Structure 1
């Protein structure tokens, strides 16, 4: 089977900050953890993406707790970590080169936030020709005002971001659908990734 990388985006302690707006999908972390465990068990590659903000007032500013990975998503020593300064995990990070060097052409994207870093990363992945899946119930986002000033719920923002991606840049699946498809299973050749 073709190697498939699980890309977990921005699962950092800062995502629990009380300063953030209301969010959706409170089960997202459990679904991400299920995917994380399945990929590790299968010996498939896991990429942990961490946002390092250039703004000193950000919950992701270097040198404070918010920038650290949440305890359940701490990468293992052999797993790849990408540090980014913009929403897109491909911009100025070497991620594309890292994937190509390992022959990885399939990606599964989970994390936060759906309409920001997840969407930006999945769009680039699709544009670069990677076969990309975004896991709808393993992502979440926050309420936001639209350009006309109307406050949109986190679920509305989430669903619109997924609609932007589905069929254009990626396939959008649930955790159950993805695990049923077996995308994380080790290839017949037992590739060591």
Structure 2
């Protein structure tokens, strides 16, 4: 097993811009992201920092603007690759897949923002490339959603994605659990789609 930590879109837009992360609380998730980066560096796990880039006229993530810039807590830490992306998945129209393959990485750990968008898209793409995926539940986060299909609070959106990820696509774990696994050189338990669909029988009264 060879891991890489992929830190997705930890940019000012999610802190002081128009998309402030609401759940988990952004300062908590940021602290866990920094902890994961420090753990990765201490144990020789490659760190990829991803930055979403939109055209200069975009209302969010406008290239070169303050919202587009990485949080200084992340940019000031060591990493192995800084990569710009223009779509949700960090694999889409980028060289991430080739970079990981060249280093024989077979397990990616997802941290950063947003849970249901760039994090989930990257996790699914990694899974479909045959990689093991780890999804840090407290080092990711999102905002409330309102669409023609309905509304979700930030907590609901985050929690729903974690359940779906853990059903088949990724091992979902808190940063502390992942840190222990990295230190021990062991993988997290793989998800089991069959087990996730096995409901406990309802209790029969009387």
Question: Whose Rg is larger?
Answer: 2
Structure 1 pair 43–75 and aligned structure 2 pair: CA distance change class (3 A): farther
| Distance in 1, Cα, partners of 2:166 & 2:65 | 36
Residue 73 of structure 2: aligned partner? 72
| Distance in 2, Cα, partners of 1:52 & 1:184 | 36
Contact 2:111 2:140 in 1 (8 A): yes
Structure 1 pair 41–108 and aligned structure 2 pair: CA distance change class (3 A): same
Superposed CA RMSD = 2.1
Structure 1 pair 152–78 and aligned structure 2 pair: CA distance change class (3 A): closer
| Distance in 2, Cα, partners of 1:92 & 1:7 | 16
Contact 2:108 2:133 in 1 (8 A): yes
Structure 1 pair 169–140 and aligned structure 2 pair: CA distance change class (3 A): same
The alignment's TM-score, normalised by the length of structure 1, stands at: 0.87
Residue 166 of structure 1: aligned partner? 166
Residue 101 of structure 2: aligned partner? 100
5+ residue gaps, structure 1:
186-193
Deviations 1:161-189 (A, max 9, x none): 1122113111111112111212685xxxx
The worse-fitting range, judged by mean Cα deviation, of 18-27 and 125-134 is 18-27
Structure of greater relative contact order (alpha carbons < 8 Å, 6+ residues apart): 1
Equivalences, count: 184
| Distance in 1, Cα, partners of 2:184 & 2:52 | 25
| Distance in 2, Cα, partners of 1:22 & 1:15 | 5
Residue 41 of structure 1: aligned partner? 42
The alignment's TM-score, normalised by the length of structure 2, stands at: 0.82
Q: CA deviation at 1:104?
A: 0.6
Residue 11 of structure 1: aligned partner? 10
Deviations 1:117-145 (A, max 9, x none): 00000000011111110001110000012
Structure 1 pair 124–112 and aligned structure 2 pair: CA distance change class (3 A): same
SS, match of residue 139 in structure 1: strand
Q: CA deviation at 1:19?
A: 2.6
| Distance in 2, Cα, partners of 1:81 & 1:138 | 19
Match runs of 1:111-122 below 5 Å: 111-122=112-123
Structure 1 pair 39–184 and aligned structure 2 pair: CA distance change class (3 A): farther
Contact 2:14 2:21 in 1 (8 A): no
Contact 2:145 2:154 in 1 (8 A): yes
Q: CA deviation at 1:17?
A: 3.2
